[in-house]
Structure 1
């Protein structure tokens, strides 16, 4: 099993360039076709026309967007040629939450960037990452917005709680697990856990994955009731020297809002290494 197609979301933010480098190296590792999807925040025209003179601002915004997109597209094709990777560039028009999912569903792995509140160019749409994770039906590799991040997958931490989402995440991450030098499966116990008879032991899922040629080190930790599971995962990832976390994404839609589970919310806000999320 491998990823045969990878899609990376690109925009005009600073983290877009290292995110592209990671996607490029993953495409080389998995011999995958790479699609660069350019989508930025596009202000609605009617919002500008309510004030005199704003039509000029809209036109200037459009000009700069196309100029930056052109420069990034040239770099994208140059890197594909240099690395001899097959791929394509697409820049669909429209609101990102509407147009990105239809392309995301046609790929094996989606590479997105963590929302960066410091960089205004990183804003693409309301709850963009959450929306793609919930609607694409494909695994999403989320890259931290801060710091220098190497291509992930040397030592992978798998978060396991026996749920459908965690099971889906493990199987979606199999190409990474097969290439990893070390895989640690972590079960976090807290007083609010379900009854023991309903749990699927980590050793059982480790045996299932071992049939794919992946050796997994099973670990269990206990936390206090007031300790968020997400914090425990990040702490263990740091202690073990992991460069990637695999976990199920817990969320549901409520009208136009995506409501995240606690651990998922912690990861999206405080991640220190790339996180593969599956829903």
Structure 2
């Protein structure tokens, strides 16, 4: 198959939530025949109470116990990665980064990957983690999976949000390896009207034809938002279609507008109960 993800990275740790997101990433890597990079930020360790003090040998003992706890957590994380790799028959590597590592430094670990997988709330990430900052600095698409998501599948039934913008087109390209392997893909347009220079005379038809030529099982759906926001309309339609993944391009409007008015990107990131494939 020509359309495959080759390198997938995942932030995880040895917690239950960390193992859950690791298994999601490993399952996807197995389906895509991809190399998996497991990234874990070393925990800062247990913090002493604010009114506690340690001096001399006692201070050394506290430091030793914290280091031992970190070593144990990292050992468990590495073992979890090895088990997941064996279960899904994939090659994997383990990277440990400082908990205090900056967001821009952390982005370097994702820079040479096709996809970065993260949990929501995030686990295994550095102190300065920010989804929006990672999207802006790395240029790598994110698959964000809520901790409340317990379905065995991600990406079998996809809703692809399309508004004929540059970010939406980038999302199509980034997600194509998942789109071609999905059982169904709903190409979703919200409040789309025939418009020269954007949608054309038949909104979504050209993109649907493009996807079909790539082997995507696509169905065009154009709906009105009525009294709901675009993000609410997308989520409602995804729920009605029993989707297990929403694909969209981030920041279709000006960044200033996003910052001031919120926007579809922020609303989906804040409210989606479904996994999100977010393309920068």
Deviations 1:38-82 (A, max 9, x none): 125649x9xx99x95597767655543332121111121133234
Deviations 1:103-162 (A, max 9, x none): 10111111111226xxxx677434522221222111111111224132311110000111
1:267 aligns with 2:278: no
Aligned to 2:21, which of 19, 22, 26? 19
Contact map agreement 2:160 2:186 (CA 8 A) in 1? yes
Aligned to 2:39, which of 37, 40, 46? 37
Distance 1:69 1:58 in 2: 17
1:102 aligns with 2:108: yes
1:87 aligns with 2:92: yes
The range that moved more, 161-170 or 59-68, is: 59-68
Give secondary structure in 1 for the equivalent of 2:155.
Answer: coil
Contact map agreement 1:133 1:278 (CA 8 A) in 2? yes
**Structure 1 runs not aligned, ≥5 long:** none
* Number of the residue aligned with 2:137: 135
* Number of the residue aligned with 1:78: 83
Distance 1:197 1:185 in 2: 20
Contact map agreement 2:120 2:144 (CA 8 A) in 1? yes
Distance 1:259 1:75 in 2: 42
* Number of the residue aligned with 1:240: 241
CA distance change for structure 1 residues 92 and 235 in 2, over 3 Å: closer, same or farther? same
CA distance change for structure 1 residues 232 and 13 in 2, over 3 Å: closer, same or farther? farther
Distance 2:12 2:22 in 1: 7
**Structure 2 runs not aligned, ≥5 long:** none
1:278 aligns with 2:279: yes
Distance 1:104 1:5 in 2: 9
Distance 1:188 1:61 in 2: 52
Deviations 1:169-225 (A, max 9, x none): 0111111111111110111118xx9x933432211111122221113111111123x
Higher alpha-carbon Rg: 2
RMSD value, Cα: 3.1
Distance 2:7 2:91 in 1: 10
* Number of the residue aligned with 2:196: 197
Contact map agreement 1:7 1:111 (CA 8 A) in 2? yes
Give secondary structure in 2 for the equivalent of 1:157.
Answer: strand
Distance 2:150 2:260 in 1: 29
Contact map agreement 1:13 1:122 (CA 8 A) in 2? no
Distance 1:276 1:100 in 2: 19
State the aligned residue count.
264
Contact map agreement 1:115 1:122 (CA 8 A) in 2? no
Contact map agreement 2:182 2:217 (CA 8 A) in 1? no
CA distance change for structure 1 residues 82 and 218 in 2, over 3 Å: closer, same or farther? closer
Contact map agreement 1:96 1:128 (CA 8 A) in 2? no
Distance 2:65 2:95 in 1: 22
